[in-house]
Amino acid sequence: MHMVIRTIVYALTDQAALSEAQKVFEELCSSGIFDYYTTFEKAESKISGINRWGNLPAVVRADSKAGRKLIEEGMDSTKSDFLRRIEFIKNAVNDFSAEELFEMEDDNFYSFSFKKYGGGLRYNAYNIGRYRGHPIWLYDSDGEGIHTPGHLKRALKDKDVWVVPADVHF
């Protein structure tokens, strides 16, 4: 599957920002979080980047209109994923006893309740606690997922802040 993540980096120029962001994307891929990434400066791939998502800015200042939009979309997607998983967990906890949830194999839970719940309990609980990976759509310059408004505020407090999107596969 593909998704567009964004990273917030610090640099004096757009090219330096792109270079810093590529280091973050490389680390996220080399550590196995994502399979590969494509940035948006050229339409080099037929299946990712510009050819999948259209013309997103390759690199943009965080305080610009386009930068604020990328950041807002990233946080909104992270929050939406989190809230969906929390709702799933709340429903599962209400519908089953703790003993039933403990004893239930994820495969059985997944197969009989997919339409109602959208997946396994342990899988969703695992994902709400992740700091990197497909539940997170916005990253800081250290490659850590930005999953709270406080983390985002700290990431944006510096001068010369840029946002760089990338299409990632997982």
Check if the beta carbon of residue 169 is closer than 8 Å to that of residue 44. no
pLDDT digits (tens, 9 = 90+) for 101-127: 777 765 555 544 544 555 677 788 888
Average pLDDT of the chain to the nearest whole number: 89
Total Cβ atoms within 10 A of residue 150: 9
Domain boundaries along the sequence of the chain: 2-169
- For the cut 90, the answer to whether the pLDDT of residue 43 exceeds it is no
- pLDDT tens digits, one per residue of 127-161: 888 889 889 999 999 999 999 999 999 999 988 99
Looking at residue 119, its pLDDT comes to 63
Q: How far apart are CA 3 and CA 88, in angstroms?
A: 22
Sign of the alpha-carbon torsion through 143, 156, 61, 3: positive
The confidence score (pLDDT) of residue 106 equals: 58
Backbone angles phi, psi at 99, to 5 degrees: -65, -45
| pTM score | 0.87
Q: What angle in degrees, to the nearest 10, is found between the helix axes of 121-128 and 106-117? A: 80
